[in-house]
Amino acid sequence: MEIQKNFMPDAVVQENQNSECTENAEPKRVISGFTATMIVVASMVGTGVFTTTGFLLETTPSAPAVLWGWLIGGIVAFFGALSYAELVAMYPKNGGEYQLLSRIFHPAIGFVAGFVSLIVGFSAPIASAAMAFGTYAGQCFPGLNQFWAALIVILLLSSVHAIKVTWGTALQNVFTVLKILLVSSFIIGGLALGDVSRIAHETASDTGAMMLSPSFAIGLIFVTYAYTGWNGSAYLAGEIKNPKKSLPKALALGTALVTLIYLGLNTVFLAAAPIDELSGKIEVGAVAATALFGNGIGQIFSAVIALLLVSSLSAMIMAGPRIYRSMGDDYKPFRFLKIRKGDSGPFCAIFMQAAIAIIMLFTARFDQLITYIGFTLSACSALTVLGVFIMRKRAPKAERPYKCWGYPVTPALFILLSLWMIVFTFVQTPEVAVAGTLTIIAGLIIYFIVRPKKLNN
């Protein structure tokens, strides 16, 4: 049974086949399973883990509850990765949710997911990562204008990826190695010097009560943002070797590894300083490093964390345009997103993404961006995971190189926990929920303007 016929409406398939652009040729599968796993790790370990705990402690002043939040977030991400693994192994194409939702539900739903990826999945995280970069860079250079630092890093990295693909790849590799070295050394040194007993004794509220509170649900939105990227290799599924086997392993192993890293890092943060010194601080990593190693070393760690954020920014700037290219394949008004020359990146897509991220620098606070990102991406991810149930019923005999472990419990729990966070976002921060909903509505409106005419028949 041909999966594409099960998923994609014939009109859109025909539209793709009739395209005159040579760039529609299938990409070569050159990415190994190990590299796919590293893509997941590199996509996840970025802004969130070095900034989120301060916001969590502000709403949930309990160190054990915060660690439980990070564990729950990791479990939710892991269940999501298992579900995505079944779908992308069935249909290993570039594009992530854009491709999957177009085939499982309708091209309109897939288009909205692609639009959400542009605004929320990549542009908003780029803006928040750049804000965090400016904050950490400001810790090292007190006279530095944090806004201009954020603006310059977006433009510089976008230019590197647009000018030549190999330059962007080399830059990404260097900063990813630095990221791994920093995280490992920070955890080892922090556990040796920190006071782990502080976690059990310094808490302002009962842990169980805090975990049942609406503020804990909102806190999980921040955690969800930090785990964003657990589906990173799904966007590159069309370029991964032996995807039916390597993709499920990459998604599951990468997510499990990052969960352990996050638990280790946050144990160090909470062991390094009292709750009141960490609460509400965006630069929680710098505060912990200063408490553990002294002011001089703390400044050095701030500089290195800023460099790590460059790695995250680079990964997002490189990955996002793959989705927009897929949209350019299917919708003529967006063919310009595919424009490239020689070994350059798709520079129109890259700089459109950069422009949206820069606008967000002017218009949003860091905490608002995180909640906006977590809320909207939770909705898209939950809908994609729901696709596992739909495809099991619609095409029970279709080839499934990998079947979701724990089905139907694991995907059902992912959907329920996602819905829990979405509902509490509406209740606690309605303005952010409305912004996310309006983003989805805007995507639908644009779809009905640009959709292929054959879908009207």
CATH of the domain at 263: 1.20.1740.10
Flag whether 6 is in a domain.
no
Q: Which two tokens stand for residue 25?
A: 């040729």
Structural domain includes residue 456: no
What pLDDT, on the 0 to 100 scale, is given for residue 218? 72
pLDDT score of 204 = 52
pTM equals 0.78
In a domain, 130, yes or no: yes
**What residues contact residue 141 under an 8 Å CB cut-off, 6+ apart?**
none
In a domain, 228, yes or no: yes
Contact by Cβ (8 Å): 49, 259? no
Is position 11 within any domain?
no
Q: 219 lies in which domain range?
A: 29-451
Q: What is the per-residue pLDDT for 7?
A: 40
CA 242 – CA 422 distance, rounded (Å): 36
Give the angle subtended at the CA of 204 by the CAs of 198 and 210, to the nearest 5°: 110
Q: In total, how many domains does the chain have?
A: 1
- Please state, in angstroms and as integers, the Cα–Cα distance from residue 175 to each residue in 168, 252, 345, 400, following that order: 11, 23, 19, 36
Low-confidence ranges of the chain (pLDDT < 50): 1-25, 455-457
In a domain, 3, yes or no: no
Query: Does residue 392 sit within a domain?
Result: yes
For residue 369, what pLDDT is reported? 63
Asked, for residue 177, whether it belongs to a domain, the answer is yes
What pLDDT does residue 265 have? 92
Q: What is the pLDDT of residue 355?
A: 92
CA dihedral (29, 31, 36, 40) positive or negative: negative
Taken as a whole, the chain contains a residue count of 457
- Quick one: tokens of 214? 């609406």
Cα distance between residue 286 and residue 305, in whole Å: 8
